[in-house]
A = this chain, B = another copy of it.
Amino acid sequence: MPPDLAAIRAAHARIRPHIHRTPVLTSAALDAQCGGELFFKCENFQQTGAFKARGATNAVFSLTDAEAARGVATHSSGNHAAALARAARLRGIPAFIVMPSNSSPSKIRNVEAFGGRITFCAPNQQAREAACALVIAETGAALIHPFTDDRVMAGQGTAALELLEDTPGLDLILCPVGGGGLLAGTAIAVRGTRAQVQVIAVEPAEAGDAARSFRAGHIVPLEREATIADGLRTTVGAPNFTVMQELVTDVVTVSETAIVAAMRELWETLKVVVEPSGAVPYAAVLEGKVAVKGRRTGLILTGGNVDLDALPWMKK
């Protein structure tokens, strides 16, 4: 059972002391260019540099003392990992983190900085899950799955709750989709509070499983993990897929070129450091994949963890 609006509101009350209420930025230049009004919810400014702090904190602070005592465990390409390590440290319990070996150095440093205990694995979903199961068998830690966990979904939904509160009259929200935790939380928050707002999911064409699954009516697993948007290299989860089918208006895909162009434009014009995954919603605007003209569109800038020495527009 995915969370309902009440669970998202409860999550918000639970995590509020531990997270930033992030600002919503606007840009006259970007509005003029697309002919609509864009509202950027800056989760790149969130604790740990990504919205993932919301879901992980809600999950960790939802545990009973007995559950918490043995620690928490997860597998993640990075941002959920750092968020879980931070939440565990806030509660004073250990966090066991399985990370794919190709995770970006900045994301690895982020986990280490919060005292997470890292185990590296091969960069595919099967290897992640196997390594995580082993860690849990050894430690008795509670699994906090990065996107299928109800408590995580509820936590992620709090970003949309704030965006809706701070931005009257939105017509649609563009939300990246990887595993679908943020998407499910967002869609549930919107449905419960302002059901007339459309939720459109955006993903890289190079990791286009959610769009294919949405059209097929069943989950079509991701085969390649070639996209620069490293946070979105995951197949959509089963409960997330169910929510997506029911509440999301559409799932669109964007090219790698558009992701890099979007990232660069957000840095240059909005003056925010956003990672490739976080630039994906704006890439859909740039590529004309969604109708934003004359409408008020919310975009969730999901994270800002990048290596400044390896920007996609730098000479090698």
Binding site for B on A (CB under 8 A): 20, 23, 25-26, 28-29, 42, 44-45, 47, 49, 106, 113, 264, 267-268, 270-274, 304, 308-309, 311, 313-315
Contact (Cβ within 8 A) B313 A49: no
Q: How far is the CA of A44 from the CA of B267 in the complex (A)?
A: 11
Copies in the complex: 2
* Residue in chain B with minimal CB distance to A307: B268
Contact of B264 with A308 in the complex, beta carbons under 8 Å: yes
Show 29 A/B contacts (Cβ-Cβ < 8 Å), sorted by A: A20-B26, A23-B23, A23-B25, A25-B45, A28-B47, A29-B113, A42-B271, A44-B271, A45-B270, A45-B271, A49-B271, A106-B268, A264-B308, A267-B273, A267-B308, A268-B273, A268-B308, A271-B272, A271-B273, A271-B274, A271-B304, A272-B272, A272-B273, A308-B311, A308-B313, A309-B313, A314-B314, A314-B315, A315-B315
Q: Give the CA-CA distance A270 to B42 in the complex, in Å.
A: 12
Which residues of B are found within 8 Å of A45, using beta-carbon distances?
A: 25, 270-271
Closest to A26 in B: B20
Complex CA–CA separation, A29 to B114 (angstroms): 10
